[in-house]
Chain A
Amino acid sequence: MRRPPRSHPLWLAYILHRLSGLGLALFLPVHFWVLSLALTQPQQLDELLVFTQMPMVKLAEFGLVFLLAVHLFGGLRLLALEFLPWSGRQKSLAAGAVGMAFLISGTFLIQAV
């Protein structure tokens, strides 16, 4: 009933940073497990890598690259906010971080297909 006040740009930047971080933290164990197959079962790793040719998997990879890029650029903004003199352009910087993330993940998608 007591609804929290939300949906202004910096709150959206906060939730995006949190959810991208959470997503990456959940993805990392899978990522590490797949790579460690190179040591134990190289055959199985190659089979998994063939699986990455599927369009849906490529789209998911695009999502992961976006999460990483948006967490990187969003994090850069937060580090600047906390460790450099105050800047009043936080909303523009947050929007710029999302833009950069789309640029990089978009480049990835073009390279991947």
Chain B
Amino acid sequence: MGADQEHLEVTVWRGTAVGGRTETFEVPAHDSQTVLDVVSWIQQYADPTLSYRFACRVGMCGSCAMMVNGEPRWTCRTHVQKVARAGKVRIEPLRNLPVIKDLVADMDPFFEKWIEAEGVHHPTRTRADAIERIDPESAARVEANTGIECINCAVCYAACDTVAGNSDYLGPAALNRAWTLFNDAKDAGKQAVLDAVSGSGGCHNCHSMGSCTHYCPNELNPMAAIAGLKRETAKSFFRRRRDA
């Protein structure tokens, strides 16, 4: 089976949590074809038992991320032409997460860490109070805005070697979320956030290798967010020493 102008040679990882192997398919090539289109073609025309995950197909929902030729990508917005090497594409489930089946990664550890990093809302007011007015130009709001477009696709989590080496590490997405909450005037849990990211799996494990920022499909900068958390936790470290 060889790749020609009209066909792609697509190698797909097949298996479960127990183990697996790769399988190669010949897929018709088209203009403006995305990696998700290729996976869908295989499932619809070659092997209906192939499992994969997607929903919106337009880069909003964050469910279709996979490893494409060894790099984490949002497959619905990744053109095959951009990533294929001599007509060959290798598609695998996201790195750093357990596999459920085929291309479906188990996202539980990813979202559990989201909660662990206090990535939950801590309200400042009750429903009886008037809505707080927020100045969109304030420094904290501008900083928070830089991180809020995260779609939870886990591309950064799959890209991070620190996550690969340290299973307790919260990872870039959860820490980026913690940083936006820390800068959010409508969140009352600032110290809770700082405490949550200061534990043994916290932001201080980050080595600023920047793979998160390099691969983020929405061009966010989790590396800068984590640096912000390090700075604020260091400040609170000295504050607590002084107050103690």
Interface, chain A (partner B; CB < 8 A): 1-6, 8, 10-11, 13-15, 17-18, 78, 81-83, 86, 90
Contact = CB atoms under 8 A, between A and B. Distances in A.
Interface of B: 13, 22, 67, 70-72, 92, 95, 158-159, 161, 164, 207-211, 214-215, 223-224, 227-228, 230-231, 234
Contacts of A6: 161, 211
Given A6-B211, A14-B209, A78-B208, 5 more contacts: A2-B67, A2-B70, A4-B164, A11-B214, A17-B207
Contacts of A1: 13, 22, 92
B36 to A, nearest CB: 19
A5 B209 contact: no
A82 B164 contact: no
Contacts of B234: 82-83
Main secondary structure of the interface of A (DSSP, over half): helix
B159 to A, nearest CB: 5
B9 to A, nearest CB: 17
Given A2-B67, A5-B71, A5-B215, A11 B209 contact: yes
B95 A81 contact: no
Given A10-B214, A86-B228, A2 B95 contact: yes
Contact of A3 (B70, B207, B211, B224): B70
A45 to B, nearest CB: 38
Interface pairs A-B: 7 shortest CB-CB: A10-B210, A14-B209, A3-B70, A5-B71, A86-B224, A11-B209, A82-B230
Contact of A10 (B92, B209, B227, B231): B209
Nearest to A17: B207
A14 B227 contact: no
Contacts of B161: 4, 6, 11, 14
Contacts of A83: 230-231, 234
Contacts of A4: 70, 95, 161, 164
Contacts of A11: 161, 209-211, 214
Nearest to B161: A4
Contacts of B224: 86
Nearest to A9: B210
B70 to A, nearest CB: 4
